[in-house]
Amino acid sequence: MKTRNLIALGASLFMLAVAALAADDPAPQAPVTTPERTNYTATSTVAEVQSFFETLCAQHSGKVVLSQLGRSAEGRPIPLVILGDPAPAAPQDNTRPVLLIVANIHGGEVEGKEALQMFARDLLARDPQGILKRFTLLLVPVFNVDGNEKIGPENRPYQKVLQGVGLRTNGQNLDLNRDFVKLETPEVRALVGLFDRWNPFVVADLHTTNGSYHEEPLTWIWGKHPAGNPAIDAAMHDEVFPWMKAYVEAHFNMDTLPYGDFDDDLKPTRWVNFPPSLRIGVDYFSTRCAYALLDENYAYADFPTRVTASYAFLDALLAYTATHADAMLANAGACRTSGQPRLYTEVKTVPYPEMLTIKAYRAEKDEKGEVHGTKERMDVTVTYLGNVTAKAGPVLTGAYLFPPGLEAVKNTLLAHGARLYRVIAPAKATVRRFLVESLTYGDRPNQGHVPLKEIKGHWETVKIQVAGWYAVPLDGGQKMRAVLPTILEPESEDGLVRSGAFDAALYPNQWSRETGPYPVVRVPDTAGFVMELVKD
């Protein structure tokens, strides 16, 4: 009851825009998106998105700053749009809490790109809750610019965009949403750098899903990595999702589900969310103390419905933030001071206590054994595997050390925003070191690497010379200390070791069949070291 009373306090931006159009009073010469202009037969190119926001910038002086996130693998500029009243040009000019919204991380998933343009236009025209005076919005409307520009009708034809959509991968043929640990793409490096400079407390990532068959056009989930904050996770489940679901139903007459897939499309008994993974943006940003959300619009709905679903998600998120900002900022601030560095293993999804009712469509197999949805409705009530469990290791103290030959690792950590030092005087240290006994690799490359599937070994205590080595402290001044074990530990299920960052160091020499020590070691403290801060 409380949720619906809160919702009744204000109309959605969507409804205000519809009312203005009905009154024949739209904003003068308001720009239209490519789908609106083409009766939803086409999606926007990067140039069209840029032109759209240039028009908004001209119409709303001081409230829109057009900038650039960086350049893509193929050298294209990535648009960055900053909204505020007034809009700051740089983080040092900003005095308001920040929200970051990213669309089109997969170039074929275009609804968020279009909805984000429409939402910005409507918010600038009518802002009844004073959002632009209270917050700064960072918009990345086309994150995967390389994939977006490869539009063609052969891409994702089931999405029913007549002129086609772009490609999932970037110019390196890499999935940007699997790069948040190794940071091998210029796009993700730039986005993580933006996050580090602006410190947003809300991050939204807009997608399209082509999974199980159901009627609800909007699904979304939040970052659930165990290295994140339990208070934020609980708030997402207990408060944010129910509130936003009710808001979307009230203002858009649209049903919402938590994101997932049936365990068996033919005889579903469970609705399963993917296990959290640090390499995925929504989970990565959750460990950096943000309210991180991932929106998935149902691919089998028509294009206008999918764009409306994405718009509804944005509208609900901003409405919730406007009415709950104090609690959200308190949780985010507490997370930044309370996070503990520990390794989590055996990470998996487990059921929530509540069951989930889904407006499903019956699926069937064709003569080739492929599963397809039908038009026959088959509502189901199933177990929802959306909660997460993990085995928590001990809280780690002191610092990590690694040798100077691992410059790529040093640069990756700096790109994450980690604080590093270099030991500049001769020093011996007693360290804990992992001695590798065996390695098992996958059978084919993934994300440009043959992934490490399993590493076995044991820990030992040794004394080694560490002059010239890099030190990564785990103290309170390390703002990302809670996530460093996941990135650096040898037994991490989602760390740099899994993507080949240490492959050359795991054998004593190129002819050896015997494995050697893992190159990152733990030291209980650095009190006796002479060190200098690493700046680049």
Q: What is the DSSP string of 438-452?
A: EEEE-SS-BTTB--E
CA distances from 328 to 99, 202, 204, 366 (A): 12, 9, 14, 48
pLDDT of 22? 43
Contact 482, 337 (CB under 8 A): no
pLDDT of 16? 63
* Angle of CA points 488, 283, 45, to nearest 5°: 115
Does the domain at residues 2-118+128-252+265-270+288-337 carry the CATH identifier 3.30.360.10? no
How many Cα atoms are found within 13 Å in the side-chain-facing hemisphere of 291?
A: 29
Locus of tokens 């589900």: 257
- CA 225 to chain CA mean position, Å: 11
- In whole angstroms, what is the distance from residue 375 CA to residue 373 CA? 7
- In whole angstroms, what is the distance from residue 207 CA to residue 105 CA? 8
Question: Which of 188, 181, 173 lies closest to 78 in space, CA to CA?
Answer: 188
- What's the token pair of residue 212? 């199980």
pLDDT of 23? 46
pLDDT of 39? 97
Contact 291, 202 (CB under 8 A): yes
How would you classify the pairing of strands 98-103 and 136-140? Answer: parallel
pLDDT of 28? 63
**Residues of the chain under the 50 pLDDT cut:** 1-9, 21-24, 26
pLDDT of 15? 62
Contact 137, 200 (CB under 8 A): no
Provide the greatest CA pair distance for the chain.
Answer: 78
Q: Could you tell me how many helices (H) and strands (E) the chain has, helices first?
A: 14, 21
pLDDT of 369? 86
- What's the token pair of residue 197? 């400079």
pLDDT of 2? 35
Q: Could you report how far apart the first and last alpha carbons of the chain are, in Å?
A: 53
Contact 442, 453 (CB under 8 A): yes
- In whole angstroms, what is the distance from residue 222 CA to residue 258 CA? 9
CA distances from 184 to 62, 149, 169, 345 (A): 35, 21, 13, 24
The DSSP secondary-structure symbol of 368 reads T
* Angle of CA points 68, 480, 170, to nearest 5°: 40
- Phi then psi for residue 353, to 5 deg, are -70, -30
The DSSP secondary-structure symbol of 394 reads P
pLDDT of 6? 37
Query: What are the pLDDT digits (tens) for 363-384?
Result: 999 888 888 889 999 999 999 9
pLDDT of 5? 35
Contact 283, 223 (CB under 8 A): yes
Residues 6+ apart with CB under 8 A from 146: 72, 73, 74, 76, 107, 167, 170, 171
- What's the token pair of residue 359? 């407006």
pLDDT of 528? 86
For the chain, the domains span 2-118+128-252+265-270+288-337, 397-533
pLDDT of 12? 74
Q: What is the DSSP string of 337-350?
A: HH-----EEEEEEE
- CA 266 to chain CA mean position, Å: 31
Question: Which of 500, 494, 481 lies closest to 344 in space, CA to CA?
Answer: 494
